[in-house]
Amino acid sequence: MADLFGTAPEPAPRPRSSDAAKVPPRAGPLADRLRPQALSEVVGQEHLTGPDGVLTRMLGNGSLGSIIFWGPPGTGKTTVARLLAGEVGFAFEQISAIFSGVADLKKVFESARLRRQSGRQTLLFVDEIHRFNRAQQDSFLPVMEDGTVVLVGATTENPSFELNAALLSRARVLTFQSHDATSLSQLLERAEAAENCPLPLDEEARAVLLRMADGDGRAILTLAEEVWRAAKPGETLDAETLQRIVQRRAPVYDKSQDGHYNLISALHKSVRGSDPDAALYYLCRMLDAGEDPLYLGRRLVRMAVEDIGLADPRALMIANAAKDAYDYLGSPEGELALAQATVYLASAPKSNAVYTAYKAAMRAAKENGSLLPPRHILNAPTKLMKSEGYGSGYAYDHDQPDAFSGQDYFPEALGRQSFYRPTERGEEARIGARMAEWNRLRRLRSRND
């Protein structure tokens, strides 16, 4: 029998779907029956388990430290943890943060201590580890440090945000990737070979089934079982019939692949291009596809500072307020705040002057090294520094006519630079007028000096 994520002998040519018999019922879900029996059989995570993968190298060096597996559901985190324990001969203990508390952890730790006294180590796999609170996460630290357990935690959330720093400093984070169409197809082929029965789907329906799984290896096998159960003898399902039978809509786009980047690019460029209708359309496309609304909120903030800037300073406040409103209200009420911000940004005057100035100033900072500012603007807290001329000749702007001294603040070796050039759009037109007047006064006072 082939394994869930593994290789298998080349299957015999598949019979035509119309000739296929229904798969006889078997004990247990297909995904459980086809689990890999060795790391080398895992597919879809070659960067970890392949011949030159991180875990392969780790095992080859004869060492196994605590690890955090970060990745979406159905990518093999639990399976790989179990296989790791087998590879190094550790006892395998598994708990879930959803169903476990401090009392459960104490029991597991005590069992691991007793096991260690008899000469055997324990690999403790903690599913959904991010669901433990900070104090519960701290309880792992002593048993990790003294070698009572080797911890392998699994999380679908960003460890940087969900796990405390002390735990992260003692564990290596390894990322599991969503299955792509190629690895999902491999899983279907292995399932068909194992069951000796092709899926009764035409080519379009098969492609739709892959999209329905949304990168989840367990889901693709569960869907395959549903298809085998539902199809009539001799029937070949098309895409429309497939979606009606399994009652699952194919994702509009894969949130980690081209569709995601195409739509966020379309949203951003529609805002930049001052087309509120198109921007609103792409926002709704992404929300309808299941995109994280807070991700969209963060992107709106980016658009406000990159493409609008000081042409309308309120754009940043409105984008931030929309993000916070969604965080406070949740769906579906909070999504209206994102829509409001999208329309505001798209209809606001545009300027990338600050964005351009920032990049130019950063380039100058990197290229010119550690130049000393002019001495008249240096602080002089000691007599020695005063004797060296620090602070000498500084003009306090509030005491000057028009509250403007016109002094030069750039390092002498660099000379005066011009990074920010405001446009004549929106609020920047007024900013530009003020800067022009300051430049006039600066030139006048420079001639007088």
Supply the pLDDT for residue 350: 96
In a domain, 49, yes or no: yes
In a domain, 359, yes or no: no
**Residues above pLDDT 90, as percent of the chain:** 54
Supply the pLDDT for residue 449: 64
Q: For the segment 419-437, what is each residue's pLDDT rounded down to a tens digit?
A: 999 999 999 999 999 999 9
Same domain, 337 and 396: no
Same domain, 311 and 377: no
The band of 201, judged by pLDDT with boundaries at 50, 70 and 90, is very high
> Do the Cβ atoms of 196 and 185 come closer than 8 Å?
no
**Bridge partners for 96 per DSSP:** 127
Alpha helices in 330-425 (DSSP H): 333-347, 353-367, 383-387
Mean pLDDT calculated for residue range 190-204: 91
Same domain, 161 and 68: yes
Q: What is the β-pairing status of strands 91-96 and 149-155? A: unpaired
Of 145, 175, 205, which one is at a domain's C-terminal end? 175
The band of 250, judged by pLDDT with boundaries at 50, 70 and 90, is low
Supply the pLDDT for residue 144: 93
Query: What is the chain's alpha carbon radius of gyration, rounded to the nearest angstrom?
Result: 31
Order across the sheet with 172-175: list the strands.
91-96, 122-127, 149-155, 67-70, 172-175
Q: Is the pLDDT of residue 2 over 50?
A: no
In a domain, 65, yes or no: yes
Of 283, 315, 347, which one is at a domain's C-terminal end? 347
Q: Is the pLDDT of residue 17 over 80?
A: no
CB-hemisphere CA count at 13 Å for 118? Answer: 9
The 10 Å Cβ neighbour count of residue 117 is 8
Same domain, 83 and 165: yes
Supply the pLDDT for residue 10: 47
Mean pLDDT calculated for residue range 289-300: 91
The 10 Å Cβ neighbour count of residue 164 is 16
Supply the pLDDT for residue 258: 58
> What is the distance between the alpha carbons of residues 387 and 380, in angstroms, rounded to a whole number?
9
Residue type, 146: D
Relative orientation angle of helices 239-246 and 217-230, to the nearest 10 degrees = 100
- Pick the closest to residue 53 from 157, 177, 145, 197 (CA basis): 177
Q: For the segment 314-344, what is each residue's pLDDT rounded down to a tens digit?
A: 999 999 999 999 999 988 899 999 999 999 9
> Do the Cβ atoms of 303 and 345 come closer than 8 Å?
yes
Supply the pLDDT for residue 246: 82
Supply the pLDDT for residue 16: 43
The 10 Å Cβ neighbour count of residue 76 is 25
The 10 Å Cβ neighbour count of residue 105 is 19
DSSP conformation letters of 59-125: HHTT----EEEE--TTSSHHHHHHHHHHHHT-EEEEEETTT--HHHHHHHHHHHHHHHHTT--EEEE
Same domain, 336 and 398: no
Q: Is the pLDDT of residue 247 over 80?
A: no
Structural tokens at position 235:
């029937």
In a domain, 230, yes or no: no
Residues spanned by the domain of 141: 45-175
Supply the pLDDT for residue 151: 94
- Pick the closest to residue 123 from 40, 64, 45 (CA basis): 64
pLDDT higher for 309 or 156?
309
pLDDT higher for 169 or 258?
169
- Pick the closest to residue 139 from 94, 88, 99, 102 (CA basis): 102
The band of 25, judged by pLDDT with boundaries at 50, 70 and 90, is low
Same domain, 274 and 337: yes
Q: What CATH number should be reported for the domain holding residue 411? A: 1.10.3710
In a domain, 14, yes or no: no
Count structural domains, the chain: 3
Same domain, 329 and 417: no
For CA atoms 228, 230, 233, 239, the dihedral sign is negative
DSSP-derived 3-state class of residue 351: coil
In a domain, 333, yes or no: yes
Same domain, 85 and 116: yes
In a domain, 35, yes or no: no
In a domain, 353, yes or no: no
Task: Write down the mean pLDDT value for the chain.
Answer: 87
Q: For the segment 44-84, what is each residue's pLDDT rounded down to a tens digit?
A: 999 999 988 999 998 988 778 999 999 888 999 999 999 99
Same domain, 162 and 71: yes
The 10 Å Cβ neighbour count of residue 441 is 16
Q: Is the pLDDT of residue 9 over 70?
A: no
DSSP conformation letters of 253-272: S-TTSHHHHHHHHHHHHHHH
What residues have CB less than 8 Å from 131, skipping those under 6 apart?
A: 97, 98
Q: Is the pLDDT of residue 11 over 50?
A: no
Q: What is the β-pairing status of strands 149-155 and 67-70? A: parallel
> What is the distance between the alpha carbons of residues 312 and 330, in angstroms, rounded to a whole number?
27
Supply the pLDDT for residue 254: 54
Q: For the segment 357-405, what is each residue's pLDDT rounded down to a tens digit?
A: 999 999 999 988 888 899 888 888 888 888 888 888 898 999 988 898 8
Same domain, 339 and 374: no
Same domain, 302 and 381: no
Of 175, 210, 235, which one is at a domain's C-terminal end? 175
> Do the Cβ atoms of 272 and 307 come closer than 8 Å?
yes
Same domain, 316 and 426: no
> What is the distance between the alpha carbons of residues 338 and 114, in angstroms, rounded to a whole number?
55
